[in-house]
Homo-oligomer: A and B are copies of this chain.
Amino acid sequence: MSKLKLYNYFRSSASYRVRIALHWKGLEFEYLPVHLVKNGGEQRSDEYRKLNPMAHVPTLVHGDYALPESMAILLYLERLYPQKPLFPKDEKAYGRAIQLCEIVNSGIQPYQNLKVTNDFEKAMSWSKDETHAWVQKWVVPGLQNLETVLEKSAGLHAVGDDVTAADAFIIPQLFSARRFKIDTTQFPVLTRIEKNALQLEAFKKAHPEAQTDYEK
Chain A residues near B (Cβ < 8 Å): 53-54, 56, 65, 67-73, 75-76, 79-80, 91-92, 94-96, 98-99, 101-103, 105-107, 109-111, 116, 119, 124, 137, 142, 144-145, 148-149
Give me 26 A-to-B residue pairs in the complex whose CB atoms sit less than 8 angstroms apart, sorted by A's number.
Answer: A53-B144, A54-B103, A54-B107, A65-B92, A65-B95, A67-B95, A69-B98, A69-B99, A69-B102, A69-B103, A69-B106, A70-B102, A71-B71, A71-B102, A72-B95, A72-B101, A75-B94, A75-B95, A75-B98, A79-B91, A79-B94, A102-B105, A107-B110, A110-B111, A119-B137, A124-B124
The 9 closest A-B pairs by CB, nearest first: A110-B110, A72-B98, A76-B95, A69-B102, A53-B148, A53-B145, A106-B106, A72-B99, A69-B99
Name the residue on B nearest A77 (C-beta): B95
On chain B, the residues within 8 Å of A65 by CB distance are 92, 95
What chain B residues lie within 8 Å of A96 (beta carbons)?
67, 72
Q: Which residues of B contact A72 (CB under 8 A)?
A: 95-96, 98-99, 101-102
Chain B residue with the shortest CB-CB distance to A102: B69
**A105 is contacted by which of B54, B75, B91, B105 (Cβ under 8 Å)?**
B105
In the bound assembly, the distance between CA atoms of A98 and B54 in angstroms comes to: 14
Contact B109 A68 (CB under 8 A): no
Q: Which chain B residues lie closer than 8 Å to A94 at the CB level?
A: 75-76, 79
> Distance (Å) between the CB of A88 and the closest chain B CB?
10
Contact residue among B70, B98, B142, B148 (Cβ-Cβ distance under 8 Å from A71): B98
**What is the bound-complex CA distance between A99 and B158, given in angstroms?**
24
Cβ-closest chain B residue relative to A124: B124
